[in-house]
Chain A
Amino acid sequence: MDILDYAFMQRALLASLMVGLVAPAVGIFLVQRRLSLLGDGLGHVALTGVAVGILTSTAPVGTALVAAVLGAVLIELVRARGRTSGDVALAVLFYGGIAGGVVLLSLAPQGQATNLDAYLFGAITTTSGSDVAVFAVIAVVVLVVVGLLGQRLYAVSDDEEYARAVGLPVLRLNIVLAALVASTVVLSMRVVGLLLISALMIVPCAVAQLVARSFRQTVLLGCAIGLVVSLSGTATSYYTGTPSGGTIVLLAIALFLVVSLAVAVHETTARRRHRRRADVHGAHPHEHGQDCGHPPVPHGDHVDYDHDGHRHAPHRTGSGVHYDEHGEHAVPAPPRSTP
């Protein structure tokens, strides 16, 4: 593995390992809240922080963190106050962030390292030793907070109104989440880039939720996918000379398309099989009972009837009786009953 012979690649791979693991763990709550683009907006705001850092000759990672977290808190306060102006306020903040960043960077004295592309789209050569140290602290803090508050964050992201009604501290939890997103954005600014980090928060979760059955599974699978695409994207960019952020995101999107296709094919097959069975059922409609010829199979609190290898559970309603399929649980949306 000559790729590991270079110190800059070691640092880049360490950074991509951390961001790949952390981004989906935070992003899943944005997906759940249908606020997928918050990370993108905070990336814009972080750029102003980067510019301030470069202008004042302080470490841009630190100033970006301050700017992004301040922006995040501001956004949540704006959202909590007015409903009508919230959307416009966000736009002003986000585009103000990127405009401020670009203008401030242009003011930097000649000879300063102001490679805008590297900040926006990621580059493998830019991660310094002190960056890795800061990233490690951010990654640990974010993962610990998600571990401690994950269930509350899930509750608020899933059904904010219910969370409010039962007295969960909705505003505080939303601010915590926004601060986590801001931290993750900064964590990404070397390898993935401020404009692309949102994709690494969202796309691995989107892949995971195609196949997972529980929220927990979605988070774990999302993190695993994030880790794999982030590391492999960074490694690919070493060989192809492409920007690491773009390479990582394209890999993630390719994975999303492949898994979507596989799931669609699987569902079509399952539906066709179900239709074939429905034809069999249509051919001899009767109420299952003691003498119907289909062997009864006790199942929990009721009796299923073995029907050519799958099981029928009688479901009595006001309008008669129909049969639910109880033999199959693997299909994401279990087929409705047949008459």
Chain B
Amino acid sequence: MTPTTGEGAIGLRGASIGYGDVPIVREVDLAVAPGEAVAVLGSNGSGKTTLARGLLGLATVLAGEVTVLGAPVGRLRERGRVGYVPQRHTVSGAAPATVREVVSVGRLARLGLFRRLGAADRRAVADAVAAVGMGDRMEDPVASLSGGQQRRVLVARALAAEPELLIMDEPTAGVDAASQEALAGVLARVSAAGTTLLVVTHEAGPLAGVLHRAVVVESGLITYDGPLAGAQAEPGGGHHHHEDAGQPPGRPGYRLDQPTVTPPSARPRTAGA
């Protein structure tokens, strides 16, 4: 199977992605060129995370074709070229680990099964930790860091691989304003260096200066693909209305008939009076 997207960073053609045999993302087309910085927007349950996980081999491609860095996703031999920041607030392990130890893991995938971290690898780890502004915490246990700082450690772990494609899942959720600013700065530098960015988020606002293109996922379909500003202006742009997560499949109703989803706060005109 030859990749049809050539040297594109990401290519989906009629791709259905899901778990078991249940598709969550359905027959989606998407092409991302190297160096692009793309936001994947959508409410909870829209399928935006599943789309990203499909690119990482963590969700199953059930139909169609998914290519990452020019290779079919299932056979990507050099996953070390992809960086991943999972949707997590904290570093998980039960045993203590230092910032250096956690970030070093990001380097391992490039080294095969037995090679040890060399001087260049250790330098890349130090650079990645410095890039997220944690250089002075290198030997501190990650458990002693705040949630936002642990998030930055996970970003550093992905950066340590010097990835060509960086996929992040909700990097700004639950992170304080200062850490969000720091993250935006880091991503701006990474993007300027030519790394392709794909950021799954329900609010692109904090990263608006970095991400230029937006893809909106609703009910497993891509409903918008264009400049980020356009997606944010639309009601379906995903950064409002996350309380609508539980609505049934199909077109979100709130675009057509506003009253059905009037926020509770705006409602009790009659009831309260």
- Cα–Cα, bound, A167→B78 (Å): 7
In contact, A155 and B143 (Cβ under 8 angstroms) = no
- Categorize the interface residue count of chain B: 35 or more
Question: CB-nearest residue of chain B relative to A211?
Answer: B96
By a CB distance below 8 angstroms, the chain B residues around A332 are 141, 143-144
Min Cβ gap A271→B in Å is 14
Q: Which B residues between 101 and 159 are near A, CB-CB below 8 angstroms?
A: 101-102, 104-106, 108-109, 113-114, 116-117, 136, 139-141, 143-144, 146, 157
| Contact A167:B95 (CB < 8 A) given known A214-B141, A215-B101, A333-B143 | no
Question: Knowing A152-B108, A161-B86 touch, does A215 contact B98 (C-beta < 8 A)?
Answer: yes
In whole Å, how far is A197's beta carbon from the nearest beta carbon of chain B?
Answer: 19
| Cross-chain contact B98 with A158 (CB below 8 angstroms) | no
Residue pair B94, A209 in contact (C-beta under 8 Å): yes
Taking the complex as formed, is A310 at the interface, i.e. its CB lies under 8 A from any CB of chain B?
A: no
Q: Does B2 contact A (CB under 8 A)?
A: no
Given contacts A161-B58, A166-B84, A332-B144, contact A215 B96 (CB under 8 A): yes
Q: Are A155 and B105 neighbours in the complex by a CB distance under 8 Å?
A: yes
Q: How far is the CB of B86 from chain A (nearest CB, A)?
A: 6
Using C-beta atoms within 8 Å of the partner chain, give the interface range for chain A. Answer: 35 or more
Q: Does B72 contact A (CB under 8 A)?
A: no
- Whether B57 lies near A164 (C-beta < 8 A) is yes
Contact of A158 among B56, B84, B102, B117 (CB under 8 A): B102
The stretch that binds B, out of A8-16, A27-35, A133-141, A178-186, is A27-35
Give every chain B residue within 8 A of A111 (Cβ-Cβ): none
By the criterion CB–CB under 8 Å, are A158 and B114 in contact? no
How many angstroms between the C-alpha atoms of A334 and B91 in the bound complex? Answer: 17
A266 at interface, CB cutoff 8 A:
no
Interface string of B162-178 (1 = CB under 8 A from A): 00000000000000111
CB distance from B174 to the nearest CB of A (A): 15
What 4 pairs between A and B have smallest CB-CB spacing? A167-B79, A318-B177, A166-B109, A165-B56
B84 near A32 with CB under 8 A, answer no
Docked-complex contact B144 and A334, CB < 8 angstroms: yes
Q: Are B144 and A32 in contact (CB under 8 A)?
A: no
In the complex, which of the residues B57, B82, B101, B146 contacts A216, with contact meaning CB atoms closer than 8 Å?
Answer: B101
User: Which of the residues A34, A155, A213, A301 comes within 8 Å of B94, measured between beta carbons?
Assistant: A34
A294 CB, nearest partner CB in chain B, Å: 21
With both chains docked as a complex, state the minimum distance between the C-beta of A325 and any C-beta of chain B, in angstroms.
12
| Given contacts A159-B93, A332-B144, A214 and B98 within 8 Å (CB-CB) | yes
User: Does B237 touch A at the CB level, under 8 Å?
Assistant: no
Closest Cβ–Cβ distance, residue A6 to chain B (whole Å): 38
B33 close to A (CB within 8 Å): no
Contact of B82 with A165 in the complex, beta carbons under 8 Å: yes
Name A203-231 residues within 8 Å CB distance of B: 205, 209, 212-218
CA distance A32 to B57 in the complex (A): 23
**Contact string against A for B residues 250-268, beta-carbon threshold 8 Å, 1 for contact and 0 otherwise:** 0000000000000000000
Kindly provide the distance from the CB of B71 to the nearest chain A CB, expressed in whole angstroms: 11
Q: Whole-angstrom distance between the alpha carbons of A209 and B93 in the complex? A: 11
Q: Is the CB–CB distance between A154 and B105 below 8 Å?
A: yes
- Bound-complex Cα distance A165 to B77 (A): 11
Q: Decide if A217 touches B96 in the complex (CB within 8 Å).
A: yes
- In the complex, chain A residues whose CB is within 8 Å of the CB of B270: none
A212 touches B96 (CB 8 A): yes
Q: How far apart are the CA atoms of A164 and B106 in the complex, in Å? A: 12
Residue from A148, A149, A151, A164 having most chain B Cβ neighbours under 10 A: A151
Q: Indicate whether B17 reaches chain A with its CB closer than 8 angstroms.
A: no
Q: Are A218 and B95 in contact (CB under 8 A)?
A: yes
Contact sample, A vs B, 9 pairs, CB 8 Å cutoff = A32-B94, A154-B97, A166-B109, A214-B97, A215-B97, A215-B98, A218-B96, A317-B177, A332-B143
List, in ascending order, chain B residues with CB within 8 A of A31's CB.
Answer: 94-95
Check: A316 CB closer than 8 A to any chain B CB.
Answer: yes
Residue of A34, A166, A217, A318 with highest tally of chain B CB at under 10 A: A166
List chain B residues, Cβ under 8 A from A166: 79-80, 82-84, 106, 108-109, 161
Q: Are A300 and B136 in contact (CB under 8 A)?
A: yes
Decide: B101 and A165 in contact? CB cutoff 8 A. Answer: no
Of B76, B105, B141, B161, which one neighbours A159 at CB under 8 angstroms? B105
Q: Is A169 touching B92 in the complex (CB atoms < 8 A)?
A: no
Q: How far is the CA of A165 from the CA of B102 in the complex (A)?
A: 16
Residues of B within 8 A of A151 (CB): 104-105, 108, 116-117
Whether A162 is near chain B, meaning CB under 8 Å from some CB there, is yes
A158 touches B58 (CB 8 A): no
- Are A32 and B56 in touch, CB under 8 angstroms? no
A198 at the interface (CB under 8 A from B): no
Interface members, chain A 143-199 (any B CB < 8 Å)? 148-149, 151-152, 154-155, 157-159, 161-169
Q: Which residues of A contact B157 (CB under 8 A)?
A: 162
- Closest B residue to A334 by beta carbon equals B144
Residue in B closest to A157 when the chains form the complex, CB atoms: B93
Pair A215/B95 contact, Cβ less than 8 Å: yes
The minimal Cβ–Cβ distance linking B7 to chain A, given in whole angstroms, is 20
Query: Is there an interface contact between A213 and B98, defined as CB atoms closer than 8 Å?
Result: yes
